[in-house]
Chains A and B, each alone.
Chain A
Amino acid sequence: MKIDDLLNKYFDGETSCEEEEWIRNYFLNKEIPEYLLCYKPMFVYFDNEIKTKKNKKRIFPRRKTLIYSLSGIAACAIIAVSISTFFHLSDNTSKRNYVVINGKCYTDEETVRAYAKASFHEVATSKDEVFNELFND
Chain B
Amino acid sequence: MNLEQFKICVLPLREKLFNYSRKMTEETSDAEDIVQEAFLKLWRIREKLDEYHSIDALATEIVKNLCIDRWKSPSRNTVELDEIKAHCGWDNPERTLVENDQVQLIGKIIETLPPLQQSIIRMKDVEGYETDEIAGITGCDIQAVRMNLSRARKKVREVFLQLTNERKEKKDENRRFA
What are 24 inter-chain pairs, A to B, with CB distance below 8 A? A11-B154, A13-B131, A13-B146, A13-B147, A13-B148, A13-B149, A13-B150, A14-B146, A16-B130, A20-B124, A38-B160, A40-B102, A41-B102, A41-B105, A41-B106, A41-B160, A42-B106, A42-B156, A42-B160, A45-B103, A45-B110, A48-B103, A49-B126, A53-B126
Q: A53 with B127: in contact, given A10-B153, A13-B149, A45-B106 (CB under 8 Å)? A: yes
Measured CB to CB, the nearest residue on chain B to A10 is B153
The A/B interface has a contact count, at CB < 8 Å, of 57
Q: Say yes or no: A46-B99 contact (C-beta < 8 A), given A11-B150, A11-B154, A41-B105.
A: no
The total of chain B residues at the interface (CB under 8 A) is 29
Query: What is the minimal beta-carbon distance from A45 to any residue of chain B, in angstroms?
Result: 4
A81 within 8 A of B: no
Against A, the Cβ 8 Å flags (1 = close, 0 = not) of B86-111 are 00000000000001001101110010
A50 near B126: Cβ-Cβ < 8 Å: yes
In the A-B complex, list the 8 residue pairs whose CB atoms are closest, starting with the nearest. A13-B149, A13-B150, A41-B102, A13-B146, A45-B106, A49-B126, A46-B125, A41-B103
B125 CB to closest chain A CB, in angstroms?
A: 5
Chain A residues with CB under 8 Å of chain B are 10-14, 16-17, 20, 38-42, 44-46, 48-50, 53
| In the complex, residue of chain B having the shortest beta-carbon distance to the beta carbon of A42 | B106
Instruction: Determine the residue in chain B with the shortest Cβ distance to A14.
Output: B146
Measured CB to CB, the nearest residue on chain B to A53 is B126
Per-residue CB contact flags for chain B residues 134-155 toward chain A (1 = under 8 Å, else 0) read 0000000000011111100110
Asked if B9 lies at the interface with its beta carbon under 8 angstroms from chain A, I say no
Contacts of B146 in A (CB 8 A): 12-14
CA distance in complex: A7, B153 (Å): 11
What's the minimum C-beta distance from A26 to chain B, rounded to whole angstroms? 15
Asked if B153 and A13 sit within 8 Å, CB to CB, the answer is: yes
Contact assessment for B107 and A45 in the assembled complex, using a CB-CB cutoff below 8 Å: yes
Residues of A within 8 A of B103 (CB): 41, 44-45, 48
With both beta carbons as reference points, the residue of chain B lying nearest to A50 in the complex is identified as B126
Which residues in B have their C-beta under 8 angstroms from that of A14? 146, 150
Q: List residues 40-97 of chain B with CB under 8 A from any CB of chain A.
A: none
In the complex, are the beta carbons of A44 and B150 less than 8 A apart?
A: no
B1 on interface, CB distance cutoff 8 Å: no
> A44–B146 Cα gap in the complex (Å)?
22
**CB nearest to B132 among chain A residues:** A16
**Bound complex: CA of A46 vs CA of B110, how far in Å?**
11
Least distance between B63 CB and chain A CB atoms (Å): 25
- Separation of A20 and B129 alpha carbons in the complex (Å): 11
Known: A20-B125, A46-B125. A38 touches B164 (CB 8 A): yes
